[in-house]
A = this chain, B = another copy of it.
């Protein structure tokens, strides 16, 4: 294994563990066991466990962002793009990514490395929404006074709703979230 492959294997293993135990509950020994190697190896490639966790979170959350952008780029109509975005923000089988976000938000105040990553990714998500809104404005299909604020509002509502689904299992359902968010987006951007 090349150094890069090994680093990647560590990150993958860390994600596999974090999927069931959460970011904060992922330990060096867990990761080593998941890889079938020794614990010392991890510190040969990463300076600290925090770095491993930050890299793992970045890969998982960054991957979601990339897939969402692709889904958006595949469409040309801003209205459909918005729908695709909302759908991809709440995919059926990726509750565990959202749990990673919950962990990251909570830990951000105490783990600077994680805060940097999570802040940057959140900014990029907002920029992605903003791009859709801008396209719709140029297009004439959207109406909106403050696109930046609208993007934050939309993203925050999705975060808040997704949070309820993941943290408070069964209080509200995933389908409701998608429907409610779509309605809110239509009202927010004056879509017919």
Contacts and interface: CB of A to CB of B under 8 A. Distances in A.
Contact of A183 (B149, B157, B183): B149
Given A106-B105, A171-B123, A188-B184, A153 B161 contact: yes
Interface string A127-162: 000000000000000000000010011011111110
A166 interface: yes
- Give chain A's interface secondary structure class: helix
A99 interface: yes
Interface stretch (A2-10, A46-54, A107-115): A107-115
Nearest to A102: B106
A103 B109 CA distance: 10
Contacts of A25: 110
Contacts of A155: 160
A164 B122 CA distance: 9
Contact of A110 (B22, B156, B187): B22
Given A152-B172, A183-B149, A187-B188, A109 B167 contact: yes
Contacts of A188: 184, 187
A180 interface: yes
Contacts of A60: none
B180 A153 contact: yes
Given A122-B171, A184-B153, A163 B109 contact: no
